[in-house]
Amino acid sequence: MAKVQISARVDGALKSAVERYCKSRGIVMNHFIQEALIDRLEELEDIGELQQLRHEPTRPLYEVLAETGLNGQT
């Protein structure tokens, strides 16, 4: 995948904190920011999936156990 540059304005204290964090752990800041963006996108995806799940009807536990054969009955 081709690398491209993005630009964002952030608070100077935040930039300094990220620089200190990366330097103290030997992390390249570009890598740190890229991973942070990927993590955030994944979180947003998970939130969307969770919202969809909340609208699905629920089933009684005994039905699920019977369907999976884990109800103790043979």
Angle at Cα 48 formed by Cα 47 and Cα 51, nearest 5°?
85
- Is residue 36, in this structure, part of any structural domain at all? yes
- Is residue 73, in this structure, part of any structural domain at all? no
- Nearest residue to 31 (alpha-carbon basis) of 12, 13, 18, 42: 18
Based on the structure, what is the number of domains in the chain? 1
- Is residue 4, in this structure, part of any structural domain at all? no
- Is residue 25, in this structure, part of any structural domain at all? yes
Q: Tell me, what's the pLDDT at 31?
A: 95
Model pTM? 0.63
What is the rounded distance in angstroms from the CA atom of residue 71 to the CA atom of residue 74? 9
- Is residue 2, in this structure, part of any structural domain at all? no
The model's pLDDT over 20-71, given as tens digits with 9 standing for 90+, comes to 999 999 999 999 999 999 999 999 888 888 887 778 788 888 888 888 888 8
Which residue carries 């690398």 as its tokens? 3
Domain that holds residue 62: 12-68
- Is residue 16, in this structure, part of any structural domain at all? yes
Q: Tell me, what's the pLDDT at 13?
A: 94
